[in-house]
Amino acid sequence: MGEGSIFVISDCHLGLVGEKSKGIVSEPEKVGQFLNWLIRLKDGEKTKIKLGPWGNGRKEKVLKPPEKLLLIGDILELWDATDRGIEYCSRPIFDLLEKLRCEKIYLLGNHDYDLKPLIGTYPSGEHTMSILEDYYPIQEDEKSILTLKMGKRDYMFIHGYQFDKIFRFQPWKHLSDIRSGALAFGNYGDLFVGLLFLGIAVAVFNYILLQLSPLSSPSASVLNFLFPLLQFLPGFLGLSQSFWSSLLPIFTFLGNAGLILLWLILGGPRFFYLYARKIWNKLVGTRYNRKASVSGILTWWNRFAKNRDVKSKDLRIVYGHTHLIDVIMPDELTPAKNKGKEVKLTALNIPSWVKDYTEKHRQKLRGTCLYIDDEDEMFIGWNWVDKNYFMVPIDVVYERMENGVISKETGKKLLSIDWPKVMVDRWTSVKLF
């Protein structure tokens, strides 16, 4: 690295517009404001940020212009968003990325893993954008762990789904394919969903009919009564009576099992697309489990570093995925080992850039980046009302995660470095867990 800095953001989920029912809504306008600020910073605009008691004798810091911008996963929403929503949200964002004169790294997450065929380096304005799959820096050497060195600290960047035991199973990588199937027929997919449930209902009624009249011939099926009724609804369904008359022999031949299988193939992806997220949020929820995160990081590290050598004495793992800001200190990640030697690991979890409706009581800090240069590392938040930046001290994040709230004294210190009062009030009074 040279005289510049690294900015890192995660989990923009661009394309989720008006999706309150699914839990989160993307905020591309805020991502755009952030990128415009980076462009001005790169062009020479001086930005000073107050350090307060966390400045080690310095009252403020002049931020260095970006040399690298890391987008560490789930920048695009390729599970739940429509193609139109993705295009409208992402096009202006990528236009701004082209104007930003620094190296850009796009690390794939679980929600945009479908971009894997695009892995490589592409022109993006004066500087390129590299699309990577798992880690930055790329771990090309299986015998050693490559890191990005800034000052006395070493960094590795990863989206974070690798720490989640749910994503250790590979079927989730096909969710983008299900989305493609759900959108293939447009709104006509809803008709297939209806026919799927209709097919199941027909199978149930046929079973009851055969139980009540076991001597009845198979032709004495509900299908014989159902399709003549459908002939009275050609205008509603947009299909002619002759169409339904021609289908009746086919469906009679297929039988109930064949019908259900057909509608499952055509309507199943649409049903999953429309309702799976709601069902998941109701049954499982999205509440952050910190103990599981610590365990997941250690499990991943012990597997990843087992046969590799790492020379770093102070390694930071930077990740996203959870949508919640967090700092996991080395004592929590002990004993993280590498070839039998303990390694000092710190995990820095970057929050999301979405509005989350699933857990209002947690009062997430969102729209926050990680800033790194050869002197400092800090989270930087943005006051969207007063349009000014403020430092989010790592020690304060850790205090809140440990205690659920921060002390009143810490809150007063945060007000001195331009924290929004409403956020200070929440952090000092609304318990996180």
Instruction: Kindly list the domain boundaries of the chain, sorted by start residue.
Output: 5-138+347-429, 181-283
Helix (H), strand (E) counts: the chain: 11, 20
Query: Which residue in 137, 15, 123, 32 sits closest to 75, CA to CA?
Result: 15
Cβ-proximal residues to 157 (8 Å cutoff; 6+ apart), any chain: 8, 70, 72, 105, 107, 135, 136, 148, 318, 319
CA 304 to chain centre: 22
Residue ranges of the chain with per-residue pLDDT less than 50: 1, 219-220, 222, 225, 229, 231, 233-237, 361
C-alpha–C-alpha distance, residues 345 and 269, integer Å: 41
What does DSSP say about strands 66-71 and 103-107: parallel, antiparallel, or unpaired?
A: parallel
C-alpha–C-alpha distance, residues 31 and 13, integer Å: 11
pTM over 0.85: no
Which residues does residue 347 pair with via DSSP β-bridges, in sequence order? 317, 328
pLDDT of residue 236: 45
Residues 213/214/218/222 CA torsion (nearest 10 deg): 30
Alpha helices in 214-240 (DSSP H): 222-230, 234-237
Query: Which residue in 77, 80, 78 sits closest to 270, CA to CA?
Result: 80
Q: For 128, phi and psi rounded to 5 degrees?
A: -85, 165
Query: Which residue in 64, 18, 111 sits closest to 377, CA to CA?
Result: 64
Helix (H) or strand (E) holding 210: helix 188-212
Beta carbons of 251 and 324 less than 8 angstroms apart: no
* CB neighbours of residue 223 within 10 Å: 21
C-alpha–C-alpha distance, residues 400 and 397, integer Å: 5
C-alpha–C-alpha distance, residues 431 and 433, integer Å: 6
Cα–Cα distances in angstroms (integers) from residue 169 to residues 173, 307, 316, in the given order: 9, 23, 26
C-alpha–C-alpha distance, residues 268 and 206, integer Å: 22
pLDDT of residue 63: 95
Beta carbons of 15 and 77 less than 8 angstroms apart: yes
Beta carbons of 319 and 349 less than 8 angstroms apart: yes
